[in-house]
Amino acid sequence: MAKLDKLKRLMCSSSEGLLVNPGARYPQTLRPANNPFDDILTRVAGKVQAAIPRGMHQHLRPQRVFKAVGGILYDQEWTGNPIQSMNTDHITPDDELARTAVQSACNYAFEIMLLVDYGLLPYPVQKPSFFNTIWTQFEHFSHLLISVAYRWNQGQFPDQAAYDRISHVMCSFDGNGVDVWDAATLIYYYHTRREPVDNGSANKGRAGYTGVLQEMISEASKRGTDRLARKLSLDINLLIPKFVSDRERRELMLYKARRLVQEYRLSILDTGTVGNWFSFDTVAKKEKQL
């Protein structure tokens, strides 16, 4: 039991600088609070613990590996949609390129995801320099991360090469304001909610991502609004201000997200300190024009 509690604390620990308001139920993260009554978190921690080889419990650092896998498994447990069988690709030697490439690719991917979720595509997004090389690294790492999560869910601890690669790449999120749990979950969403696109659609800004926000809205009547609230809180306080480059679309997304918070009567943290907001009336007029 002590080992299980230790894992739960590791997975749910706050990143440095993460805003947490005791008066608000949902801080700016997809990561749940370490609530002893959270049965899903307990199940996830139990699965993570079961795969750890004997004698390794005292070496649970760096915690980012457990947070990354825990975030993916938590979402699967919450939705009841486990990953289908996946094979792990060959792991190339770790290098600095993978870390910087995944960070750059995520900046692009997270903006695309927000544009899709809030219905603002097609809209071209500036691709990072050396996009093909960066995107290849991102695709390989995404597949590796989700494959490891799948195998971990089956009771298989990753080999040292895979463990080290996840640890090395996910450390690129340390100190940039995005919690490792959130980054891994977003990568998981991007990798598992996609459809093929042709070159013409790709040139118009479409990347094949089909969205997750509407999925969360549609499940609210049957499963509750917990996942929706955590997503909207993260979007409002961090993802939209940080990753959406166009000001008008950024303000429109914030308007739409806050409108959903009102519609579903959610209690979330909203710092209200990022950007210079349009009034709701002004943004509503812009919404009709786009």
Burial of 52 (C-beta count, 10 Å sphere; 0-12/13-18/19+) = middle
Distance (Å, rounded) from C-alpha 206 to C-alpha 185? 21
pLDDT tens string 204-233 = 556 788 999 999 999 999 989 999 999 999
What are the residues facing 209 on neighbouring strands? 194
Q: Using the 8-state DSSP alphabet, how is residue 154 labeled?
A: T
pLDDT tens string 120-177 = 876 667 777 778 888 888 988 999 999 999 999 999 999 888 888 899 899 888 777 8
First to last CA, the chain: 54
**Per-residue pLDDT, 268:** 83
Angle at 39 between CA 33 and CA 44, to 5 degrees: 80
Burial of 19 (C-beta count, 10 Å sphere; 0-12/13-18/19+) = middle
Domain ranges of the chain: 63-210, 212-290
